[in-house]
Structure 1
Amino acid sequence: MAEQLPFDLPVRAALGRDDFFVSPANAMALGLVESWPNWAGNKLILSGPSGAGKTHLTHVWAALSGARIVAASALVAETIPALATGPVAVEDVPSIADDPGAQTALFHLHNLVLAEGHSLLLTGEGEPGHWGLTLPDLKSRMMGTTVATLDQPDDMLLMAVLAKQFADRQLVPTPDTIPYLLKHMDRSFVAVTELVAALDQLSLSEKRPVTRALAKRVLKD
């Protein structure tokens, strides 16, 4: 039988509040996001490993506040006045560690957003002091911001993230697939993303449902 060529179909991630599974690993971060607009200094940092839910919580907050969401790497000086007319979320601040221009733009955005009485949400992995920022004034402002931490997943959260990523890809695994993955996979958000993507591709190429047997093959590889 000829193998079906897999196509990279768009994955529609569900990013609403009702789609966010709460566990001890992220409850504190969610609580701080939902405490807006009572943030200290009108700003908050979401910090956690890749796949922990920073983007999801950013969209939850944007829905609450009407904020615009922008990647830190996309910041340029010319766009700052328009961005600062309302609440803003800036994603992946550590990505501009080697970009002095973007750091300067973020510094001015930070100051202008707060001066206009709006709120600012920022995201990144690890402590802000380890983000590699080279602009001293920007680094000091990040260090002076409340940090909401998302931790590595516990069992309940890992199972929920697996189920959500399958649903985002419109995949329906057999009932024994997720418990099997949970028992044998690397216990990280990155592993969830890689496993679900690999299962999606294999299921499509072989025209087979997502089963425990398919999961076993992917884990072996």
Structure 2
Amino acid sequence: MQQIPMDLSFRSAQDRDNFFISASNQLAADWIDRWPDWPGQMQALNIVGEPGSGKSHLAAVWQEQTGSVSLSKADADMVHRLMEKNAEAPCFILDNLSAENSDEEALFHFLNAIKSVQGSLLILSSMPIALMNWKLADLMSRLKAINVAQIELPDDMLLFALLEKYFAERQLVAPHNMLHYIVSRMDRSFSAVHQIGAALDREALASKKSLSVNLARDVLHKQLEIDI
């Protein structure tokens, strides 16, 4: 009888030691390490990358380092409230910022408030915020002045490390020959790591088989629908 796998959620390790550095994300990691020496009109950085690229991981590292407050939307009043409670300049994280989901006036006042108290801001987005379709000219000017670090598509070394980490966090032994097999055939994207990893995890559980090249071949054949 085939076992039906259950979708279980796992929390990925978010500390600095668990962030794998390669050419694709070196720039973003260097910017995080460089804080508080972020140049510009205000201490701000925009990390850009596709989903699963490690933006949130780097934000968690920075949050641990700075005690920053994570916000889903701009809040200028929050800046002033924190300054009243704490003499130190506050740090903030804005996740998944886009022109479509933002109140431009509120965001503009939020940026001005952070600048006025010499605070710091880390913005995470899937595309550079300066290239988004903002209508408020003053806001656009502010955003264009913010430092940008792009996380590029992963290279083979990073794909290998991310796949190995994915399985290790689920207490699955991933043979290196299987990982090399997958990396040489998979799409060059962070989302592919999670898609293939999840598919292999489900297949191993359902078939009660260990991870192997043969299992990976079957999964990739189903995923890519090609003869591999």
TM class by smaller structure: 0.7 to 0.9
Give secondary structure in 1 for the equivalent of 2:56.
helix
Question: Which residue is equivalent to 1:92?
Answer: 96
Q: Give 1:139-154 correspondences, 5 Å limit.
A: 139-154=140-155
**Deviation at residue 58 of structure 1 after TM alignment:** 0.8
Question: Which residue is equivalent to 2:68?
Answer: 67
Q: In 2, distance between residues paired with 1:100 and 1:32?
A: 25
Q: Is the 8 A contact 1:93 1:131 kept in 2?
A: no
* 2:37 pairs with 1:38: yes
Higher helix share: 1
Compute the TM-score of the two structures, normalised by the length of structure 2.
0.85
Question: Which residue is equivalent to 1:16?
Answer: 15
Q: In 2, distance between residues paired with 1:133 and 1:167?
A: 42
Gaps of 5+ in 2: 83-89, 223-228
* 2:168 pairs with 1:167: yes
Aligned letter for 1:81?
D
Question: Which residue is equivalent to 2:86?
Answer: none
Q: In 2, distance between residues paired with 1:83 and 1:193?
A: 36
**Deviation at residue 100 of structure 1 after TM alignment:** 4.7
Structure (1 or 2) with the larger CA radius of gyration: 2
Gaps of 5+ in 1: none
CA shift digits 1:123-164 (9 cap, x unpaired): 112332333333433332221111012111112111111112
Q: Identity of paired residues, percent?
A: 36
Q: Is the 8 A contact 1:114 1:120 kept in 2?
A: no
Q: Give 1:112-123 correspondences, 5 Å limit.
A: 112-123=113-124
Give secondary structure in 2 for the equivalent of 1:138.
helix
Give secondary structure in 1 for the equivalent of 2:176.
coil
Q: In 2, distance between residues paired with 1:152 and 1:124?
A: 15
Q: In 2, distance between residues paired with 1:123 and 1:171?
A: 31
Q: Is the 8 A contact 1:42 1:120 kept in 2?
A: yes
**Deviation at residue 111 of structure 1 after TM alignment:** 1.9
Question: Which residue is equivalent to 2:59?
Answer: 58
